[in-house]
Amino acid sequence: MAKPKVQYQCDECGATLPKWAGQCNECHAWNTLIEVVVEAKSNVKSFRNRDHIAVPAEVSFLDTVDAEQSSRLATGMAELDRAVGGGLATGSVTLIGGDPGIGKSTLLIQMLSDLGEKGVKTLYVSGEESAQQISLRGRRLDLALDKIRLLTETNLERILSIANSEHPEVMVIDSIQTVYTEMLQSAPGSVAQVRESAAQLVRYAKQTNTTVLLAGHVTKDGALAGPRILEHMVDTVLYFEGDSGSRYRVIRSVKNRYGAVNEIGVFAMTDKGLKEVSNPSAIFLSRHEEPVSGSVVMVTKEGTRPLLVEVQALVDTSHLGNPRRVSVGLEQNRLSMLLAVLHRHAGINTSDQDVFINVVGGIRITETAADLAILLAAISSLKNSPMPQDLIVFGEVGLAGEIRPVQNGLERLNEAVKHGFKKAIIPKANQPKQKIEGMEVIAVSRLSDAISQLQ
Ligand code: TYD
Ligand code: MG
């Protein structure tokens, strides 16, 4: 194969340069030039040569498109199927991101074992662990080892040529950061390598209708390591969430071309690998024996399923000129905004206080329905006065101090009743038309109304 030509492209403005430089000529941004392949024609051709993919492009009506091509493949793990929107779509590329040690490899190999038992032809490509390590783990997890085909390889060209001869229906690459292509000189794991390798794998998946799953590392601040563009290239992006201390692991879809986003699947990490938790609604509560201050239970709706989650706050006198606002599992900026609303519309000042907010169990809450719970938890901690243990709270707080409705209010209330909660502070617009048996609903339209309920 002739050596492909490489250029350097600016990540900011797209300008191309023949040589690497510290600064882009065009937009003068620093450290933005990355290596790109100019021509990868020979490689593309090798796929096209295969008969069944040589389809000439033509214009067609959508109703005549054969939808069969993107059928679903149930993985045998209902929680994973749920997260991806009802099974893996064939020919799709899924990226699974998460902290080291959270369970990506465990999940993927368990999935391959289940698929293998159903007669699906699979291939597990590992660049991180040796065959012995993987086999040892498989034995410990009682997996169908005779159904898992393993390839320990990091060279993309070799991976693709083996895949081309083996024709797996499902291929796992663990991880995308270890794979490198010969076309580039950059080190494996660099932005250029990750981008180019992923692009070729996506092309392979689409042209051969192979379902590909890529495991990906995440950086300290929680983003996938490597170019942002990786998330654009793939069809589905799943994130593994969870505390290293907690045994629960949540898989959340943050992008899905084949289903809804924010759908979650819940697993527990046990000594026999990941086990599905099919009814997770109450696992994120810490269940204190005595009422404690700074703890509020909210009902969040992640995807199609309501979950009871405990929000904890600690508000304490700050000795810093710039008091700390720390939130774990929630967006930081939103916390600052909520504290400003609390000051302006309820007269409660926290400018001399450090405020820490935590969501129990390591789950992330992405919806604004948590606003009211966060503020009530902060007030409870500030005043050191516990909330009733049978109280649940949800509602969005607006900048004008109003409490805005959230979606699926009734469903959230019903879930709370199921778990024995008897009192709810919710937005006025979410007030149910009929009385809910066993639940006292306090509907509020202003933040000050909600706070006055606490006295
Ligand atoms: P792993 O799946 O290798 O994580 P990743 O690929 O995301 O880096 O590791 C999973 C972690 O879970 C590891 O630290 C050990 C633990 N574990 C268990 O507790 N039980 C098990 O059965 C297995 C296989 C792993
Ligand atoms: Mg791993």
Architecture of the domain whose range is 283-452? 2-Layer Sandwich (3.30)
Instruction: Output the residue whose Cα is nearest ligand 1's atom 14.
Output: 101
Average per-residue pLDDT in the chain?
88
Q: 174 CA to middle of ligand 2, Å?
A: 7
Confidence check: pLDDT of 98 > 80: yes
Measure CA 340 to chain center. 29
Q: 201 CA to middle of ligand 2, Å?
A: 19
Architecture of the domain whose range is 72-278? 3-Layer(aba) Sandwich (3.40)
At residue 286, the 3 state secondary structure works out as coil
- Torsion angle of alpha carbons 65, 68, 70, 73, nearest 10°? 170
Is any atom of ligand 1 closer than 6 Å to the C-beta of 98? yes
Q: What's the confidence (pLDDT) of residue 68?
A: 62
What gap in Å lies between CA 206 and CA 234, rounded to an integer?
11
pLDDT higher for 350 or 261? 350
Candidate of 129, 175, 269 to mutate for ligand 1, largest count of ligand atoms within 8 Å of Cβ: 269
Is any atom of ligand 1 closer than 6 Å to the C-beta of 105? yes
Confidence check: pLDDT of 44 > 60: no
- Strands 150-152 and 33-37: what pairing? unpaired
Q: 100 CA to middle of ligand 2, Å?
A: 7
Local confidence band at 289 (pLDDT 50, 70, 90 cut-offs): confident
Please determine whether the domains at 72-278 and 283-452 fall in the same fold group of CATH. Answer: no
The tokens describing 260, both together, are: 């809804």
Global pTM reads: 0.80
Query: Which chain residues have CB less than 5 Å from ligand 2, an ion?
Result: 105
Q: What's the confidence (pLDDT) of residue 121?
A: 95
Ligand nearest to the CA of 139: 1
Q: What's the confidence (pLDDT) of residue 225?
A: 65
Q: 224 CA to middle of ligand 1, Å?
A: 19
Instruction: Output the residue whose Cα is nearest ligand 1's atom 21.
Output: 273
- The CA radius of gyration of the chain, in Å to the nearest whole number, is 25
pLDDT higher for 198 or 226? 198
Give the pLDDT confidence of 179-191 residue by residue, as tens digits: 999 998 888 888 8
Give the pLDDT confidence of 352-405 residue by residue, as tens digits: 999 999 998 878 888 999 999 999 999 999 999 999 999 999 999 999 999 999
Q: What's the confidence (pLDDT) of residue 220?
A: 61
Q: 308 CA to middle of ligand 1, Å?
A: 26
What gap in Å lies between CA 284 and CA 226, rounded to an integer?
31
- Going from N- to C-terminal start, the domains of the chain cover 1-40, 72-278, 283-452
Is any atom of ligand 1 closer than 6 Å to the C-beta of 137? yes
